[in-house]
C-alpha cells in the first residue's frame, strides 16, 4: 500500500510540473496579445501613463472646481488613486474636445454647463461618465491612411475573394489531376510546384509592377490577387491533392457503375466530400492575401490594402500607440478567426495532429 501511495505521489508531482510548464508557455504566448488588446481600449491619457494600467478604465470620474483661469477639471487616476488636475480653462469647447479625444468619455458643452451650474451650490462637484471603449477603433477608421481605412478594408476583402476563386479553381483542378492520374512528368511537376514557393515574393512583386501596368491592373485589387494566387495555388494543389487522394476512388467508380458520367460523378460525389477541405484551402488563400504586406506596398500607389494602411499607421505610431494597437487588432481579428475555423486542417495538412 505504501508503494502505491508513493507511485501516486510521484505521478501527481509529474503531472503538476507538466501543467505548470504548459501554463507558463501559454502565458508567454498570450501576454503580448493581452497587452495590445488592453492598449487598444485605453484612452490617450491612459495610454501615456507609465506604467501602463493593466486594465482600461470603464468609467471616468470627474471632479470640477473653480480654478485660477476658469474651471479646474480633475480626473481620478486608477494607478495613483487620487484626483489629478488635467486642465484649467474657461473655454468649454476646448474642455469638451479634451474629454472626447484624450479621456474617451465625451460630454457636450451644454452637459458641461449643466454641471457647472451645480458649482453655485456645492464646490467641488463630482460627476462620472461612461468611457467610450471603442473610441480608438472609431478614430482609426476615420483617421488612418488619411481616411483610406474603410475603402482599404473593402479593397482587401475584394482581393481576398478573388484570390480564393482563382486559386481554388486553378489549384483544385491540378490537385485533382495529381491525385487521380498517373502521367508523364508527374513527379517533376509536383517538385516544380514546390519550387514556386521557394522563390521570394519580393522577387516576383518588383517585375510585376511593369507587367501589371501593361495589363492596366497596377494599383488595382485584381492585380494584387493575381500575385497572391501564385503562392496560394501552390498550397491549394498540395492540399487538394491529399484531400482527393483521401476520397476512395471506389466511391467514384460506384457512381459510374450506377450510370453517372465522369462530370456528374465529380459534381455529385467527389466535390461534396471534398468540400470541407476546399473550405480550408479557401481560408488559407484568404489568410495569405489578408496578411501580405510587402507586395502590397510595392504594387499599390493610391489604393493601398488594409495591411498597408495598418503598416503606415504603426510606422508613424510614436504619437498614437493606442491607435496603432486598435489598427493591429482590427488587422489580426479576421486572421485569428479564420485560423480558428481551419485549425483542424492546419493539423491535417501536416499529417493529422490530434492530441
Q: Which is nearer to another protein, 264 or 293 (CB)?
A: 293
213 belongs to the binding site for another protein (CB under 8 A): no
- Site residues (CB under 8 A) for another protein, limited to 322-341: 324-325, 327-329, 331-332, 335-336, 338-340
In the region spanning residues 305 to 324, those forming contacts with another protein, defined by CB under 8 A, are: 307, 310-311, 313-315, 317-318, 321, 324
Based on CB atoms, which residue is closest to another protein, 7 or 268?
A: 7
> Which one of residues 39, 149, 168, 274 is an interface residue with another protein (CB under 8 A)?
39
CB-based contacts of 174: which residues, under 8 Å, 6+ apart? 193, 233, 237, 240, 241
Residue 81's region, left for phi above 0, alpha for psi from -120 to 50, else beta, is: left
Ramachandran assignment for 185, one of left (phi > 0), alpha (psi -120 to 50 degrees), beta (any other)? left
Footprint of another protein on 77-106 (CB under 8 A): none
**Binding status of residue 157 toward another protein by CB under 8 A:** no
176 binds another protein (CB under 8 A): yes
Query: Exactly one of 226, 241, 278, 285 binds another protein (CB under 8 A); which one?
Result: 226
**Which whole-number Å values give the CA distances from 243 to 75, 164, 352, in the listed order?**
60, 17, 12
**Nearer to another protein among residue 97 and residue 267 (C-beta):** 267
Under rule CB under 8 A, residue 343 binds another protein: yes
Alpha carbon distance 295, 327 (integer Å): 20
**Closer residue to another protein, CB minimum distance, 71 or 178:** 178
Say if strands 59-66 and 125-130 run parallel, antiparallel, or are unpaired.
antiparallel
22 contributes a contact to another protein by CB under 8 A? yes
Cell numbers 472646481: residue: 65
Using rule CB under 8 A, residue 204 touches another protein: yes
Q: Identify any residues that bridge with 125 across adjacent strands, giving them in sequence order.
A: 64
Give, as ranges, the residues between 42 and 81 that touch another protein (CB under 8 A). Answer: 48, 50-52, 54
How far is Cα 91 from Cα 109, in angstroms, rounded to an integer? 10
C-beta of 7: minimal distance to another protein in Å? Answer: 7
Q: Is 159 in the site for another protein (CB under 8 A)?
A: no
**Does the footprint of another protein cover residue 351 (CB under 8 A)?**
yes
# residues contacting another protein (CB under 8 A): 96
Q: Which stretch of DSSP H or E encloses residue 73?
A: strand 71-77
Task: Report if residue 353 touches another protein, rule: CB under 8 A.
Answer: yes
Instruction: Answer for the pair 144, 309: CB distance below 8 angstroms, yes or no.
Output: yes
Estimate the crossing angle of helix 201-215 against helix 221-246, to 10 degrees.
120
Nearer of residues 121 and 187 to another protein, judged by Cβ: 187
Q: What cell was used for 224?
A: 494584387
Amino acid at each position: 500500500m505504501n508503494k502505491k501511495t508513493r507511485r501516486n505521489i510521484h505521478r501527481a508531482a509529474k503531472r503538476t510540473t507538466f501543467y505548470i510548464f504548459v501554463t507558463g508557455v501559454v502565458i508567454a504566448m498570450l501576454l503580448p496579445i493581452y497587452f495590445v488588446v488592453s492598449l487598444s481600449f485605453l484612452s490617450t491619457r491612459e495610454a501615456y501613463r507609465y506604467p501602463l494600467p493593466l486594465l482600461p478604465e470603464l468609467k471616468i470620474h470627474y471632479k470640477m472646481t473653480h480654478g485660477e483661469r476658469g474651471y479646474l477639471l480633475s480626473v481620478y487616476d486608477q494607478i495613483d488613486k487620487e484626483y489629478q488636475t488635467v486642465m484649467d480653462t474657461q473655454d468649454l469647447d476646448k474642455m469638451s474636445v479634451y474629454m472626447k479625444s484624450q479621456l474617451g468619455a465625451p460630454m457636450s458643452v451644454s452637459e458641461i454647463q449643466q454641471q457647472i451650474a451645480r458649482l453655485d451650490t456645492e464646490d467641488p462637484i463630482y460627476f462620472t461618465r461612461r468611457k467610450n471603449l471603442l473610441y480608438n477603433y472609431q478614430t482609426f477608421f476615420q483617421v488612418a491612411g488619411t481616411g483610406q481605412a474603410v475603402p482599404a478594408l473593402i479593397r482587401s476583402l475584394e482581393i481576398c475573394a478573388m484570390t480564393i476563386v482563382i486559386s481554388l479553381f486553378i489549384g483544385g483542378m491540378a490537385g485533382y489531376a495529381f491525385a487521380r492520374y498517373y502521367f508523364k512528368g508527374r513527379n517533376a511537376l509536383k517538385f516544380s510546384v514546390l519550387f514556386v514557393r521557394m522563390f521570394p515574393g519580393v522577387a516576383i512583386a518588383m517585375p510585376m509592377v511593369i507587367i501589371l501596368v501593361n495589363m492596366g491592373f497596377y494599383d488595382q485589387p485584381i492585380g494584387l490577387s493575381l500575385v497572391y494566387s501564385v503562392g496560394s495555388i501552390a498550397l491549394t494543389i498540395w492540399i487538394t491533392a491529399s484531400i482527393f487522394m483521401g476520397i476512395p476512388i471506389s466511391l467514384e467508380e460506384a457512381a459510374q457503375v450506377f450510370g453517372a458520367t465522369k462530370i456528374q460523378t465529380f459534381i455529385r460525389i467527389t466535390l461534396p466530400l471534398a468540400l470541407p477541405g476546399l473550405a480550408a484551402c479557401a481560408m488559407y488563400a484568404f489568410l495569405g492575401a489578408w496578411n501580405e504586406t510587402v507586395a502590397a506596398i510595392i504594387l499599390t500607389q493610391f489604393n493601398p490594402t488594409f495591411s498597408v494602411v495598418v503598416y503606415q499607421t504603426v510606422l508613424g505610431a510614436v504619437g498614437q500607440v493606442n491607435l496603432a494597437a486598435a489598427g493591429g487588432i482590427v488587422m489580426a481579428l479576421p486572421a485569428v478567426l479564420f485560423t480558428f475555423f481551419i485549425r483542424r486542417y492546419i493539423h491535417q495538412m501536416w499529417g493529422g495532429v490530434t492530441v
